[in-house]
Chain A
Amino acid sequence: MKQAIRAIGIAIYVLWLVVIVFTVTAVYSAFQLQVDFSENPRTSTSGGTMTLLFPFSLKNKGFYDISDLNITTVVQESNGALISNSSTVIPLISSGNKVNATHSISITIENMASSSLSRLLFYDTELNIDHSLALKYAGVIPLEISRNSTMQWGAPFYNLTLGKLSIHGSNVMIPINFENHSFFAINGTLTLELFNDSNQRVGIGTTALNVQPSYSYSNSVQVLVSGAPRRIREAHLSFDTSLFSYGPVVFPID
C-alpha cells in the first residue's frame, strides 16, 4: 500500500511539473508572438468587386506552433444584411518561423444592386464590422479573439434628385443631382427613360458619368420626346458603371 501511495505521490509531482512548465512556457511564448501591420492597406477593383488588402506578418518566436489560424471579417448593414464575409486561413506557423500573409476583404458592389442592399447606393449609413481571429495554440488550446466596430458608409448616389423639367418643343431637359459620398469613383453612363400616362416610353437620353469621391454631380440630360411632353408621368433612371449596374429608379413627374 505504501509503495502505491508513494508512486501516486511521484506521479502527482511529475504532473504538476508538466502543468507548471507548460503554463509558464505557453504564457512566455504568447508574449513572443510578433504581429506586424506596418505595410499600408491597398485597394483593388476588378469585375464589380472592390477588395481591401491588409498585408501583415506573424513571427512566432515562442516554443509552440500556432495552427489553424483563421482571420474573418464580416461586414453587415445595420439591419443585419450581409455585405461581405472574408476569411484568411494560415494552416500552420511553426515555432521560430515567420509568415507573411494578406487579409483581403472583398465587397461586391454588384450585390448592392440586389434589393436588400440597394439602399446603400442612396443613403449614408453605419456598417457593423465583426473581426475575429481564431487559432489553436500549442496544438491543444483553441483561442478566439473578436472585436466589433462600426464604419461609416457613404452612398455613391446620395440625395439623388430630379429637377424640374424644362420643355423646349420636343426637347426636354431634366436636371439630375447627387453627391458621391462613397470611397470609389463612379465612371459609366446614366440612362434616362421617360414614360407617358399610358406607360409608353416616349423618349430616352444618355449621359456619361465621371464623379470622383466626395464630389457632387449636377447635370441636365436632354431627351427628345415623341408625342406630347405634357403627358410625361414617370422618369426611369438607370446606371451602368464600371463597378455595378443598377436601375431603373423610378421618379414620378407631376
Chain B
Amino acid sequence: MVQWCFQLIENGSIKSLFRKMLPRVVMAVIKGLLWFVLLYVVPMFIFSSLSGFAPEIFSSYGQLLQVFVAIVLFFVVASELTSGTILQHAFNIGKALILMIFIVIGLQGGIVALDFQGFHVVANLQIYIAMLLTIDLLGLAKNVLQAINFLSEKDESQLPAPSPK
C-alpha cells in the first residue's frame, strides 16, 4: 500500500488528480456558497423580517426551506465535483426527480392549510405546483438530453478517424 502511494507520487498521479480536482472543488465551494446565500440566507432574512407579521407561518415553513436547501446544495456540489463525467448528468437527473417529489410533498399536493391568529387558511396552489413541476420536467428532459449528448460525443471521439479513399 505504502509502495503504491510512493509509486503514485513518483508517477505524478496524485499531483495530476489534485490538479484535476482542485478547480472542481473550488467551483463546488463557490457554487455551493452562492446557492446557500440565494436559497437560505436571503429567504431567511426575508422570513425573519416578516415573522413579526405572522410567526406561525414562517416558523412552520423554515424547516421545509432547510430541507430544500440541503437537497439543492448536495446536488449542486456533487454535480460540480463530477463535472465532465456521466455522473454529473446522473446527479442532475436525480436532483430534478427529487425536487419534483419534494415540491409535491412539501406543498401538500397543492392544498396548503395553515392556522394563524385564530384563522384557518386553505390555499389551493395546484396550478402553482403544476407550473413548478412543468419547469422541473423540462429540467429533467434537458438533463436526459445532455446525458445522451455526452455519451454520443464520447463515443464519437473514440471512433477511428475515417481513412482517405
| Cβ contacts A to B, 13 pairs, < 8 Å | A1-B148, A4-B145, A5-B146, A9-B142, A12-B142, A15-B131, A18-B131, A140-B128, A144-B121, A144-B122, A144-B123, A145-B121, A146-B119
> How many B residues have CB within 8 A of the partner chain?
23
Q: Which residues of B contact A (CB under 8 A)?
A: 118-125, 127-128, 131-132, 134-135, 138-139, 141-142, 145-146, 148-149, 152
Residues 194-251 of A at the B interface (beta carbon under 8 Å): none
On whether the beta carbons of A141 and B124 are closer than 8 Å, the reply is: yes
On whether the beta carbons of A12 and B128 are closer than 8 Å, the reply is: no
Instruction: Verify if A81 is at the interface (C-beta below 8 Å from B).
Output: no
Chain B hits for A140, CB < 8 A: 127-128
> How many A residues have CB within 8 A of the partner chain?
20
On whether the beta carbons of A147 and B118 are closer than 8 Å, the reply is: yes
Q: Which residues of A contact B (CB under 8 A)?
A: 1-2, 4-5, 8-9, 11-12, 15-16, 18-19, 140-147
Chain A hits for B127, CB < 8 A: 140-141
Cα distance A4–B132 when bound, in Å? Answer: 21
A141-B138 contact given A146-B119, A146-B120, CB 8 Å threshold: no
Chain A hits for B123, CB < 8 A: 141-144
Chain A hits for B141, CB < 8 A: 8
Chain A hits for B149, CB < 8 A: 1-2, 5
Which of B119, B138, B145 meets A1, CB within 8 Å? B145
On whether the beta carbons of B124 and A143 are closer than 8 Å, the reply is: yes
Residue of A nearest to B139 (CB): A12
The A interface, classified by DSSP as helix, strand, loop or mixed, is helix
Cα distance A5–B138 when bound, in Å? Answer: 10
On whether the beta carbons of A5 and B145 are closer than 8 Å, the reply is: yes
On whether the beta carbons of A147 and B138 are closer than 8 Å, the reply is: no
The B interface, classified by DSSP as helix, strand, loop or mixed, is helix
Which of A5, A19, A142, A145 meets B131, CB within 8 Å? A19
Cα distance A231–B121 when bound, in Å? Answer: 64
Which of A15, A141, A145 meets B135, CB within 8 Å? A15
On whether the beta carbons of A8 and B120 are closer than 8 Å, the reply is: no
Cα distance A16–B119 when bound, in Å? Answer: 32
Distance (whole angstroms) from the CB of B95 to the closest CB of chain A = 13
Distance (whole angstroms) from the CB of B133 to the closest CB of chain A = 11
Cα distance A145–B117 when bound, in Å? Answer: 12
10 nearest A-B residue pairs (beta carbon): A142-B124, A8-B142, A140-B127, A144-B122, A1-B149, A15-B135, A146-B120, A5-B145, A143-B123, A12-B138
Distance (whole angstroms) from the CB of B126 to the closest CB of chain A = 9
Additional A-B contact list (15), CB under 8 Å, known A15-B131, A147-B118: A1-B145, A1-B148, A1-B152, A9-B142, A11-B138, A12-B139, A15-B134, A16-B135, A19-B128, A140-B128, A141-B125, A142-B123, A144-B121, A145-B119, A146-B122
Chain B hits for A5, CB < 8 A: 142, 145-146, 149
Chain B hits for A12, CB < 8 A: 135, 138-139, 142
Chain A hits for B145, CB < 8 A: 1, 4-5, 8
Cα distance A147–B135 when bound, in Å? Answer: 36
